Structures are given as C-alpha cells and as structure tokens.
Amino acid sequence: MKITAKRHPYKFYLTVTFVFSFFLALGCFMFKIYGNESQQDEFELKILLLPIFATLVISMAFYSVWQYFKNAPIVVVENEIISFGKTSYPITEIKELILTGKMPFRYIVKYPMEGALLIFNDDSKKYIFDDMYSNTWQLKCVLEKTIHRNEEYHLRENGKIDPERVLKQQVEIFTGSQVISLRGISLWGVVVFFLYMGLSKENLPSSGFWWAFFWFGSFWFFLNSYLMHYFGLTKEFLIVKNQNLLWRKHIYRLSDVQEVVFESSYQQPNCMRIITKDFRNKLYPAANLRDYRWLELKAKLEHKGITVRNECIW
C-alpha cells in the first residue's frame, strides 16, 4: 500500500500564503515610504536605512516559504521505503520511532509542534509535523504497525457511537464560568460596550452602524467562543462541548484514546489535545477552565487508564 502525506490546505498552504504576503507587502510598503521621502529636499538619516530593512523583510517572505516547504516535504511510504522529498530510506533502517510528542519546528527560532520523530541507523533524524499534513495519522499508523507490530497496515474506521448509550451514563462536567474569565469578559464586554454606544445616544445610529456591529460582533463572538470548550467524563466516554456554540459536540470512547495532552500554543489559552489510537488528533481550547479543574480532570483520566501529558498546568 502506498501512503502519501498531503499538505494541509489551511494549516500549511494558507499559512504559507499569509506569511509570504504579509512580509512582501510590508517590504514593498517600506520601499514606497523610502521613495516618497527621498524626493524631499531634506530627510532624516534613518530614512536611508529603510531600503536595508525593506530588503530584509522581503527576504523573510521567501525564507518563510523555503523553510515551511523544507519542514514539510512530501512524505511517501511504499514498498518498505519511506521518502522525504528526494531522500529515501528503507523502513528497516529506522532505529527509533517516536510517534507522539512535541518536536522542534525550525523557523526563525525552534518552537514545539506535535509530531513524530524518526531516527535512522546513520543517526539522521526526520520529523513529521501533524499540523502540516491532513493525513499524518495514516503515516503514523503505517509506521507503527510496520515497525512496532510487524503487521501490514489496513485502513479502518472507528465504529459509530450510540448517543443513547452516552445519555444513559452519569456525566461529570469540567467547565468554568464566562463571567469571571478573561476570555468571557473580553467577549461580552466588547459586545455590551458597542450596544451601549449605539443605544445611549438620543438619535439611534444609522443602519450602517448596525450592519458593522452585526458583522464585527459575529466575528468577535465566534472567534472567542471557539476558545470556550468544556469537557464531560463518563464511565466509557470523553465528551467535548462548547459553552456558546451549542451544536459543537465530540464524543470519544475512552478505549479509543491513546493519549491526552494539556498544552498552550500559538498564543491560545490552555487546550486539550485528544490523540486516538489511530493517531488522529484534535485540539480543543478551553479558556474558561481554571487550573485546579484541569488538574482534577487529569487525575480522573489517569484513574481511568488514560495517559495525560501535562505541558502547561502546574
């Protein structure tokens, strides 16, 4: 069976496009400022440094594209061979295989990203970063079965979960209050402030104000609400819900969960990453959950035999 890593359309291509466009636009803007200022009879000495900084910024645009593609080459597993771009190794030469954990993503500095590490007999190291590909879990399953179990990989889907069975079980809820959390105050404080500004005047604002409030308010609501997940735990299941986006609900069998990670990355609040035994993983930010509740949840999960990797709650 041939498995090819597919670069993620959003987390890879959209990120690369945004970073490249940002640095390129900023560099061009700096060149434009220099062009306008250099036409003046007198201009400050620091203006002479603008072309240098603009060149460096534009260089960062191209460096970013190069570094991202270098960190996430096309990975192919076929006929007992694993290829990273143009470099290939026999799978039998893998000396050590680590399938979960934070790996150093090299950019301007190294920052940790969930992924896998392969160490070969010649001591060369290769990383596979989860967020850079949309099907990293398939690669991990192939490697895990081939290296650790000496089995042929066959794609399988997890069975559906019967909602009625979940409802019949007693659920312990781990949540927090929006009223006393920074994220909740930020969300509703901004909404209430703009409503007050619109309704406190003698003459009601124009329709343009209300349309702007609607679109900005919707964006602000969904942006902050996405960060407000909470968790439920039963005898057999781990449940993930959202405090404001009530239709969001994910249920995991505890028997399907390989590892749970408490982490905080990309300037997000504390999050739970759930890694299943087929190496699929999903991140759930939970901004309103207090530290002591995180630790209580950790103890409960570990009591049920789930490995918890705590990277941010102390």
Task: Quick: pLDDT tens for 171-225.
Answer: 999 999 998 888 889 999 988 888 888 787 777 778 888 898 889 989 999 999 9
Q: Where are the beta strands (DSSP E) in 193-256?
A: 229-233, 237-242, 249-253
Q: 48 or 209: whose pLDDT is higher?
A: 209
Domains identified in the chain, total number: 3
pLDDT tier, 158 (very low <50, low <70, confident <90, very high otherwise): low
Using the predicted structure, report yes or no on whether residue 162 has a pLDDT greater than 90.
no
Using the predicted structure, report yes or no on whether residue 43 has a pLDDT greater than 70.
no
Q: Given 208, 225, 242, which residue is the final one in a domain?
A: 225
pLDDT of the residue at 155: 52
> By mean pLDDT, which of 13-17, 23-27, 156-160, 278-282 is the weakest?
156-160
Written as one letter, the residue type at 105 is F
Domain limits at 167?
Answer: 163-176+228-310
**Average pLDDT of span 152-175:** 77
Using the predicted structure, report yes or no on whether residue 118 has a pLDDT greater than 90.
yes
Interatomic CA distance for residues 233 and 292, integer angstroms: 16
Same domain, 79 and 172: no
pTM for the complete prediction?
Answer: 0.85
pLDDT of the residue at 45: 63
Same domain, 58 and 187: no
**Average pLDDT of span 44-56:** 81
Burial class (CB in 10 A: 0-12, 13-18, 19+), 137: middle
pLDDT of the residue at 165: 85
Using the predicted structure, report yes or no on whether residue 42 has a pLDDT greater than 80.
no
Other beta carbons within 10 angstroms of residue 112's beta carbon come to: 13
pLDDT of the residue at 285: 94
pLDDT of the residue at 150: 59
Q: What is the mean pLDDT of the chain?
A: 89
Same domain, 5 and 149: yes
pLDDT of the residue at 200: 77
Using the predicted structure, report yes or no on whether residue 152 has a pLDDT greater than 70.
no
Using the predicted structure, report yes or no on whether residue 156 has a pLDDT greater than 60.
no
Same domain, 76 and 139: yes
Same domain, 110 and 23: yes
Transcribe 84-125 into DSSP letters.
ETTEEEEGGGEEEEE-SSEEEEESSSEEEEEEEEEEETT--E
Q: Given 225, 243, 258, which residue is the final one in a domain?
A: 225
Whole-angstrom CA distances from 314 to 227, 228, 259, 285, 295 are 20, 20, 19, 17, 8
Share of residues in the chain with pLDDT > 90 (%) = 64
Using the predicted structure, report yes or no on whether residue 10 has a pLDDT greater than 90.
yes
Same domain, 141 and 238: no
pLDDT of the residue at 100: 94
Same domain, 238 and 282: yes
Same domain, 204 and 246: no
Same domain, 12 and 126: yes
Same domain, 168 and 64: no
CATH number at residue 239: 2.30.29.30
**Average pLDDT of span 74-88:** 92
Q: 205 or 102: whose pLDDT is higher?
A: 102
Using the predicted structure, report yes or no on whether residue 151 has a pLDDT greater than 80.
no
pLDDT of the residue at 69: 96
Q: To which H or E segment does residue 276 belong?
A: strand 271-276
Same domain, 206 and 73: no
pLDDT of the residue at 14: 96
Using the predicted structure, report yes or no on whether residue 260 has a pLDDT greater than 90.
yes
Same domain, 283 and 148: no
